[in-house]
Amino acid sequence: MLFGVAIIVGLLWLFYKLWVSNYNYWKERGIPSYPAEFPYGSDPNLVKLKTFQGYTIDKMYHEFSPHPLFGIVVLRKPLLVVKDPELVQLVLTKEFSHFRERGLIKLLKKDTLNHHLFHLGGERWRPLRMKLTPTFTSGKLKAMFPLFISCAESFSSLLLSKADSKVDIKELAGRFSADVICSCAFGLDMDVINHPDNKLRRIGIERMKVPFFRKLNVALVQLFPALSTVLKTRSTSKEDENYVINLVKNIMEQRENSGIVRNDFIDLLIQLKNKGNLGDDGHEFEEPFEMTLELIAAQCFVFFIAGFETSSSVQSFCLYELALHQDIQSRLIKEIDETIEKNGSLTYKAIQEMEYLDMVVAETSRKYPTIPSLNRQCTKTITLPSGQKIEKDTAIIIPVWSLHQDPQYFPDPDKFNPERFSQENKDSIVPYTYLPFGEGPRMCIGMRFGLLQTKVGIVTLLRKFRVEPCEETKIPLVMGGASATTASDEPVIIKLVARS
């Protein structure tokens, strides 16, 4: 009996020692670090995610204010937080070949919809990125713009039905964004604006949530990658995966059989599948890379997920700030009215001419970056200019939220001030401190598309309405930990007031 107890105690002790063996990892390498405690590591919130990750990292960021980087431990995994802009530039751009992986998940062959541009590794990421980059040129977006306008007209009708009432603006913006993506990515007129329970949108919303068991699953797989096979980790259920793949398959077959051309994302992917390029320069890619149905479905899916979530978030945060700053809203409305009158209607050219709108959206993305931190993984050991060494497989965090909220880069950071991004001021922004879309070779490929649909949504609303705070408007907004992105804990409630 005592012998059995001794064995159990001994095994528990060995497990404990193994678990905490990395807690001095950064100290041994001469890098300042946040202390770690069993079992969560440096901070329980980085595992439980009950508090917004941006807040948790920000607390550490300021505690290490004199240092360009510092180490933390999540469970027992060491991570390096890189906070100096010059080091951020080194990671994202200058030494990209050493940090080209995101290292967020272990890709499994069976998890088909995860094999997209965001998660793929270098050997597959590079040729796919090269193939997809021409998809988002100005010319391609201009050709898609009539699809944006069609969705905007439906959005305007929905808004008219909500005139002079209190609304959850994130919900309404989410319907519009999902409708644009369904139209431009899948070529489907799903009318998500009037049918918000659309299955594709439901799948997207569920994908962005981080329930407890998913947090635990991800944490265990990051610690012990071999467990991914045992745990049968999937980011999307088999049922939802089959739905998306069959949806894309049916659309592609219908297009190829009918010869219908919509100038949308599916058209461009079909062209890539059949020709290997988009025909802009006739360039053929040297890397062998087959655009299979599954790969195409994965690109469509991430385009949908990223597009509707980021755009709806920026729109809702922007309109929230405009409700609190009536002077900024008045100036923006004036620009919108004058530009549309000059162009005769809401055109692609008109959107590009709205300089103050661009400033307002940029400041929204500064104050509320959709992704609170960027992740990279060191693929080759590198020695920094300081002499410190980052070893292969080290996980890197770039604290976007903290950089955007740092007063040394953005004075009075809690203030919503679009003038930071005026022609006179934006050149003074320290490079690599403003990262709403990332930077370097792996920066967001859909940036132009996302900005365009965000601006069209804001303009559509402000052409006929003003927004105002009401008694249900939370001031300030508090970000929550239940989402993978920057999102409010509660609905973003404002009042729509019809313009006279």
Please state the residue numbers annotated as binding site for heme.
444
Q: What is the C-alpha separation between 363 and 217, in angstroms, rounded?
A: 36
Q: How far is CA 394 from the centre of its chain?
A: 22
Q: What is the C-alpha separation between 314 and 456, in angstroms, rounded?
A: 12
Contact, 235 vs 207, CB < 8 A? Answer: yes
Binding-site residues sit at 444
| Selection from 251, 245, 253, 256 nearest residue 301 by Cα | 245
Q: For residue 281, what are the CA distances in angstroms to 131, 262, 284?
A: 12, 21, 9
Q: What is the C-alpha separation between 456 and 170, in angstroms, rounded?
A: 15
Identify the residue whose tokens are 């940090």.
99
Contact, 464 vs 335, CB < 8 A? Answer: no
| Selection from 53, 99, 79, 33 nearest residue 402 by Cα | 53
